[in-house]
Each structure stands twice: as structure tokens, then as C-alpha cells.
Amino acid sequence: MMCFINRPMVLSVNILYANIIQALIDMKRNIRTFSHDNALVEMRRKEIVLSSTKVFVQKGYDRTTTRELAEALGMSTGGLYHYIGSKEDILHLILDFMVDTQRKRFDKILRAISGLRPRDALQMTIRLHMQEVDELSDMTRFMSHVAVNVGPDDRELMRNASMRHVAFYQDLLQRGVEAGEFKIENTHLFALSIVLMTQAWALRRRHLQEYTLDDYISELSHLILDTICINKNSELHYVEGQLTEQ
């Protein structure tokens, strides 16, 4: 008989999600701009974030000048300063961009796993999480090296954000244990291991060059599920984005 995620799990995850979002919102800050067109500012700042991240990864934050950032964007230094006040503002914009992406990611995950049993919910979470890690791989690598350039409050928020990811996975794992689907002695340690293995796609890519993203997701999912699932007789397959069991 199939065992689905019960209502307490949905409530628990939603409470955790609400706490995550509040913490991420608190992290955001106001950055000076001379434009009164909010839509234009948002568009230009996204371009600044995406372009600057690539430059920072290649040259390093400290060695990159605002002139080089402006050239990479195809604009003058004055044009760049129309939307920011300093190079440090770009660092904050990158943090804020990651905040917004995380918010959307958690929202998408919650919708995707609603009503799924713990095993399916965990596999879907890994897939969606890995897609975001791949999308933000440059930013993840950059932020892992630039933490020394941010203030203590931001460093604490970055650490807390990582631990909230662990807590999210731990909640899924614990509910799987309670539902009789998973056998795990230490859900916190196992959740931490999952987060580290997902982050390896961005931070240790040179060791994973033989894998495509889909290959790594598949190998990682099977490694995790084969380790913790009590019933290993059934196998999950993705068909046009949907989980099917055979």
C-alpha cells in the first residue's frame, strides 16, 4: 500500500518555509539608484548581477574594477553608477538575487511535493534543488570565496541559509522515517550530506566532469534512496517531468 505524506508533514514544511522566507526577506536592503523607473532598475540590476558574477569568478572580486564591470555590460562607468552606488552594492545585489531565487525555488518545491509520499517528495526536491544549483553555479562559487568581503551579519545570514537547507531536507527525511519508508539513524547528518553533495555540482565540478546534470541527479538520487529506502523493489522514473513508478 502506498504511503503518502500526511498533513502534519505539509504543515511542518510550510512552517519551515515561512521561516526561511522571512529570514531571506530580512536579508534584503535598499541600494541607491538615480532612476525612478522601477521596472527598468530591476531589469538593469539583473543584467548587472549576471554579468558581474561571471567577471568576478574569472578575475576575483578584489581585482575587478568598476570600469571592467561596465565594459562587460557594454555601458559606461557612469551608466553603471546610475543603478548602483559602489562595487560593494553589486555584491549585495548578488546576495539579493540569490534570495529571490531561493524564495521561488522553495515555493516551487512545496507545490511540486504536495501530496507526494516521502520517497517521491525527496527525489523531486533533489531534482529541483539541483536545477537551481546548476543555474546559480557561478554565484555559488563566487559567494563561497567572497564571504570574507561581506559584513558579519551577512556572513551569519549565509551560514543560516545553508543550515535552513539542511533543516528542509531533515524534515523530509524524518517524515519518511515516521512513515516507515526510510531507515536513518541520524537524519540531521544525512540531510547535511545531501546538501553538501548538491553543492558539489557547483563547488567541485572539476571532479564531476564526466557527468551531465541529468546524470548527476540520477546517480545522486539513486545513491541516496538506495541507502535509506526500506523497500527497494520499486523504481521511480521521470516521464515529461512527472514521477512514475514501475
Q: How far is CA 47 from the centre of its chain?
A: 20
Nearest alpha carbon to residue 122 among 216, 202, 222: 222
The one-letter code for the residue type at 143 is M
Q: Which amino acid would we find at residue 11? A: L
What is the CATH architecture assignment of 32-84?
Orthogonal Bundle (1.10)
Residue-range domain boundaries for the chain: 7-28+95-245, 32-84
Q: Report the percentage of the chain scoring pLDDT > 70.
A: 77
- Residue-wise pLDDT for 28-61, tens only, equals 567 878 877 888 988 999 999 999 998 988 888 8
Length, in residues, of the chain:
246
Assess if CATH 1.10.357.10 describes domain 7-28+95-245.
yes
Provide the grid cell at 69.
Answer: 564591470
pTM confidence score: 0.73
Per-residue pLDDT of 57-115, as tens digits, reads 888 888 899 999 999 999 999 999 999 998 888 988 888 788 778 778 888 898 999 88
